[in-house]
Structures are given as C-alpha cells and as structure tokens.
Amino acid sequence: MSTEIITAFIALGGVIVSIIASITVSMRQTTIELRKVRTEIQRAYMDKVLEKRIEHYPKLYKLLSDFDKIIRDSTLKKKHVEDLFHNILEWDSANAIFLSGQSVITYITLRIELANIVKMSEKEFYKKYIDDGEQEQLLNRANEVEVALKNDIGIYSVEFPNTDRKFKSYQEVKVFLEKGKTK
C-alpha cells in the first residue's frame, strides 16, 4: 500500500474517532440536560402541590384538632362524630386529591371508622365508645391523620432538618424528642 492510502486511512480513522467522541459527549450532555429539566418540572410541580396542601390542610387539621379537644375535654357524643364525619366528607370532595399516599391510608382508615359509627345506634355507640373505652382508639386515628398532614407539608422536615424521618403518631414524635435523636 502506498503511503498516501495509509495516511488517508489514518486521517479517516481520526475523523471517525472524533465523530464517535462528539456523539457520545452530545448524548451525555443531552441526558444531563433532560434530567435537569425533569427535576425542575418535578420541583415546580411539588411546589404547587405543597402550596395547595398548605392552603387546604389547615381546614382538615382544625376539624380533627377540635374533635380531639371534644374527646379530651368532655363526654363524646355520637352527634360529635356525625358532625366530624359530615365536615370531613365536605372537605374530602374538594381537597382529598392533595393527600399523599401515606395520608390517604390514615385518612381513609379514620373515615371508615367514622362511617361505621354514624351507622351505629346510639346504644351501640355508647357501649363501644363510652362504656368500653374505644374513644381512645378513635382519638389515635384522628391524631394519625394530623401527623400525616404535618408530614405532607414538611412541618417535621423544617423542625428536624437533619432527618428524613416520617412520623406516624404524636407518640413517635415525643419519643424522638425525648431521645434527642438528630439523624
């Protein structure tokens, strides 16, 4: 082979390697840019969801907090449960779409229990929730929803910035604070 042909093949090889390197770098840059755009879109979306949660969660939180005070400060009546259930259903129709997966689980569990109570007779209600002391379980379910709402809007992330922990109950928050953990 002549030197001109060898030189041409070497030059062609250099051009091919340069093209492959250029394509590889371009593909990597495109992938990185797409990830950035996706992350920005997700962040913007989550910011909007968080805004809506902060706007609507306090209404549900207030209903639960007021119910908590009724259970702790006075005798629970079936009417209190019925009022809470109807108010929750009203809130649900407009705002439940903003609940996270974990909040939905705790919320639906409470809603089912309230629906079952509403279907009970007065006698059944007083036997189970007053005489047998099941009102504490009902209070715990309501408190679990409160904690889930706080997790959703990042209350604990702000309060405990060194932890990714999600709490399930006020008891867990209390234990966490007593141990002084800052994971």
Query: What percent of the chain has a predicted confidence (pLDDT) above 70?
Result: 94
- Identify the pLDDT of residue 26: 94
User: In this predicted model, what pLDDT tens digit does every residue of 104-127 receive, in sequence order?
Assistant: 999 999 999 999 999 999 999 998
Q: How confident is the model at residue 183 (pLDDT cuts 50, 70, 90)?
A: very low
- Identify the pLDDT of residue 35: 94
Mean per-residue pLDDT, 62-86: 92
User: In this predicted model, what pLDDT tens digit does every residue of 128-147 receive, in sequence order?
Assistant: 888 888 888 999 999 999 99
0.95 exceeded by the pTM? no
Q: Is a pLDDT exceeding 80 seen at residue 88?
A: yes
Residue 77 dihedral angles phi and psi, to the nearest 5°: -120, 155
- Identify the pLDDT of residue 163: 63
User: In this predicted model, what pLDDT tens digit does every residue of 162-178 receive, in sequence order?
Assistant: 666 778 777 888 788 77
CB within 8 Å of 107: residues ≥ 6 apart: 96, 99, 145, 148
Q: How confident is the model at residue 22 (pLDDT cuts 50, 70, 90)?
A: very high
Task: Give residue limits of the domains in the chain.
Answer: 55-179
Residue 154 dihedral angles phi and psi, to the nearest 5°: 80, 20
Mean per-residue pLDDT, 39-52: 93
Q: CA 151 → CA 25, 37, 43, 62, 148, distances in Å? A: 41, 27, 18, 16, 5
Mean per-residue pLDDT, 44-65: 95
- Identify the pLDDT of residue 68: 93
Asked if 64 and 146 touch (Cβ cutoff 8 Å), the reply is: yes
Q: Is a pLDDT exceeding 80 seen at residue 148?
A: yes
Mean per-residue pLDDT, 6-21: 90
- Identify the pLDDT of residue 161: 64
Asked if 152 and 57 touch (Cβ cutoff 8 Å), the reply is: yes
Mean pLDDT, the chain, rounded, equals 89
Q: Residue for token digits 């907090």? A: 65
